[in-house]
């Protein structure tokens, strides 16, 4: 008996047995759980966007203050003397 046949036989056996009773409040609990999950995902998404915006603003302020695109001053090289 191959593995596929064994799994198929196991599934058939499970389907032939009596199904367990479903709790009466299952739909209400599932709805409540889904609502909580959606609320949590929404809060995490908002926090991620706020963090991204704060990082972008901090980078813009740093770039405006430090001006990394400007070339460094030329007085960093030693003076030429004795020519």
Cβ count near 3 (within 10 Å): 7
pLDDT digits (tens, 9 = 90+) for 8-63: 999 999 889 888 888 999 999 999 999 999 999 999 999 999 999 999 999 999 99
Q: What is the pLDDT of residue 77?
A: 66
With the C-alpha atoms ordered 66, 68, 71, 74, is the resulting torsion angle positive or negative? positive
DSSP secondary structure letters along 22-40: PPTTHHHHHHHHHHHHHHH
Cα–Cα distance, 28 to 10 (Å, whole number)? 32
Rg, C-alpha atoms of the chain: 33
Q: What is the pLDDT of residue 82?
A: 74
- End-to-end CA gap in the chain: 96
pLDDT digits (tens, 9 = 90+) for 65-78: 998 888 777 666 67
């Amino acid at each position: 008996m191959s593995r596929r046949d064994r799994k198929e036989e196991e599934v058939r056996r499970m389907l032939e047995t009596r199904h367990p009773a479903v709790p009466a409040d299952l739909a209400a609990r599932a709805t409540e759980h889904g609502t909580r999950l959606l609320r949590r995902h929404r809060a995490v998404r908002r926090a991620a966007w706020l963090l991204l915006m704060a990082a972008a603003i901090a980078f813009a302020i740093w770039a405006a203050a430090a001006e990394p695109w400007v070339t460094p001053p030329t007085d960093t090289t030693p003076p030429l003397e004795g020519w």
